[in-house]
Amino acid sequence: MPAKPILALLFLSVFFFGNSQERTVVNLKVQGAERTKPAFIKKLVKLKEGIALDSLVMDEDMILLKRLPSISHAYYQVFSSNDGQHNVFYNIEENFTLIPFANLFTSSNDDFAFRVGLQEFNLLGRNITLGGFYQYDVFNSFGISLRAPYLFNDKIGLAINYNSFSTLEPVFFDNATADYKYNNAGLEVLGLYEFNFRNRIEVGGSLFTEDYEYISGATSDGVPLELKVDKHLFKLIYNYDDVNYFYQYLYGFKSSLNLQYVGSSDVSLPEFWIGFNDFSYYRRIGKKGNWASRLRLGLASNVDSPFAPFTVDNNLNIRGVGNTIDRGTGAIVFNTEYRHTLVDKDWFVLQSNVFVDGGSWRNPGGDFSDFGDTQNIRVYPGVGLRFIHKRIFNAIFRIDYGYGITKDADRGVVFGIGQYF
C-alpha cells in the first residue's frame, strides 16, 4: 500500500481515538448523599464511568433523580483534566423521608372523616417505601404497604399492599337510598417494570373479600341486606411521565392508565372490568405561578347495581362535594387550578390556590346521555392554601374550600397532605 494512504489512515485513527478519549467520563461522583446510598444512585442513572460524556443523558438523569422521594433537587458539574478527560459530579439535595401524613375532610352536612399514617420513602437508602395508615370514616380502617421500584435492578421492582377498609356507603336504587357498612379486606401484589425514565408499567392482582351490611334507609327485594363474597382482581397500570420538577413548581405532561378485571367466587355476581385514564398537564406561569390541570375519563361494565365502582367524593375528585355522595359506571372529571407562590424562603413556601372542579357520571345501567343530565353534573369552584416544606418529601399541607354552583350543591373544606393532583 502506498505510504500516503497509510499515513492518512493512521492520522484518522489517532484523530477519532483521541476525540473519543476526550469525551470519556473517567470518574462519576455523587455528592450530598447522606441517607441515600451513592451506589444506588450510580446504579440508577444512565451516565456511567468509561462511556462518552453526553449532556442529554445527564439532563435526563437530573429529571429522574428529582422524581425520587429522597431527593428534592439535583444538578451536575463537569470538570475536564488537562488531557481532555472528564470528572462528573452529581450533586443532590436530600429530602427528609420519614413522613407522617393526615387527610381530613368535612362538609356542611357534618360529614367527617380522616386518615393518618406514617411512611418511610427511603428505606435502606434505596428509595423503598414502607408505610401504614389508620382511617376513620364512621368505621375504622387500616393498611400497610411496601413499594420497592428498583428492588432487583434499575428496571424491575415489586409492590405489596394489605388493606382493610370499612366505610359507611350510600347505596342508590329506585330513587331511594340506604346506608350500608362496607368492608374490603385483601392483599395485592404488583410487579413493576420501568422501560425508561418516562415509561413504566405495573402488572399484578389481588385477592380480597367484600362485605356489605345494611345499616338504615330504604330496602328492596332486589338488594340484599347482607352480602359477603370473595373476589379476585387483575390489574394493569401504564404510566407515562414527562413532568420536570423545580422544588414546588412542575411543568410537563403525564398520563396514567389503569385497567382492572374483577371476578367473584359467587357465580350469581357478574364479573366486570374497570378502566380509567388520568391526563395531567402542568405549566409555569411567570416566576411564581403554576397552572395545573387533570382530566379523568373512566368506564366500567354497565351493570345495574347499587354498588357501582366510580364515586363522587371530596377526597378523590371534587373538593367540597361531601363524602361518597353518588356512584356511577362511568366518569368524566376535570380539575384545574392556579397555584401562586406568596412566600418562598430557604425551606418554606406558602402558596395560594384558585380552582374549579367539575364532573359528571353515568348512572348504573344507564347510557352515555347520563353525562349530560343536569342531576349528574357537579361544578365546584374554590380557593385554598398550601404550606410547603422544601426539605421534607411531599410535605405539602393543603386546605381547600369548595362551593357548589350546580343543582342541590353542597360546600365544604378538605384538608390533606400533598397536592390534590
Together in a domain, 74 and 186: no
Q: What is the pLDDT of residue 197?
A: 86
**Which residue, of 43, 66, 92, is where some domain finishes?**
92
Instruction: Provide the mean pLDDT of the chain.
Output: 89
Residue 209 grid coordinates: 373479600
pTM: 0.81
pLDDT of res. 21: 46
Q: What is the per-residue pLDDT across 212-233, written as a single tens digit (0 to 9) for each?
A: 899 988 888 777 888 899 999 9
C-alpha cell at 314: 371530596
Please indicate, yes or no, whether residues 374 and 391 belong to a single structural domain of this protein.
yes
Q: Are strands 156-173 and 330-344 parallel, antiparallel or unpaired?
A: unpaired
Q: Which of 15-19, 71-75, 84-88, 103-107 has the least mean pLDDT?
A: 15-19
Domain boundary among 92, 124, 148: 92
Does the CA dihedral 324-328-331-334 come out positive or negative?
negative
Are both 57 and 116 inside the same structural domain?
no
pLDDT of residue 257: 98
Q: Tell me, yes or no, whether 379 and 277 share the same domain.
A: yes
Q: What pLDDT score does 15 carry?
A: 43
H or E element in which residue 22 lies? helix 3-22
The whole-angstrom separation of Cα 399 and Cα 137 is 19
Count of CB atoms situated within 10 Å of the CB of 107:
21
Q: What are phi and psi of 379, to 5 degrees?
A: -130, 125
Cβ neighbors of 361 (< 8 A, separation 6 or more) are: 310, 312, 326, 327, 328, 330, 331, 332, 370, 371, 376
Range from 226-235, 237-246, 305-314 carrying the lowest mean pLDDT: 305-314
For the chain, what is the domain count?
2
Comparing 137-151, 158-172, 286-300, 352-366, the range with the smallest average pLDDT is 158-172
Say if strands 156-173 and 176-194 run parallel, antiparallel, or are unpaired.
Answer: antiparallel
- The answer to whether residue 110 scores a pLDDT higher than 60 is no
CA gap 285, 123 in Å, rounded? 36
pLDDT in tens, 132-161: 999 988 899 999 999 999 999 999 999 999
pLDDT exceeds 80 at position 5: no
- What lies within 8 Å, CB to CB, of 7 at 6+ separation is none
Which range, 109-123, 199-213, 302-316, is most confident? 199-213
Same domain flag for 146 and 169: yes
Q: Which domain holds residue 330?
A: 98-417
Among the candidates 92, 117, 136, a domain finishes at 92
Residue type, 291: W
Of the listed ranges 172-176, 234-238, 298-302, the least confidently predicted one is 172-176
pLDDT band, very low/low/confident/very high, at 92 (cuts 50, 70, 90):
very high
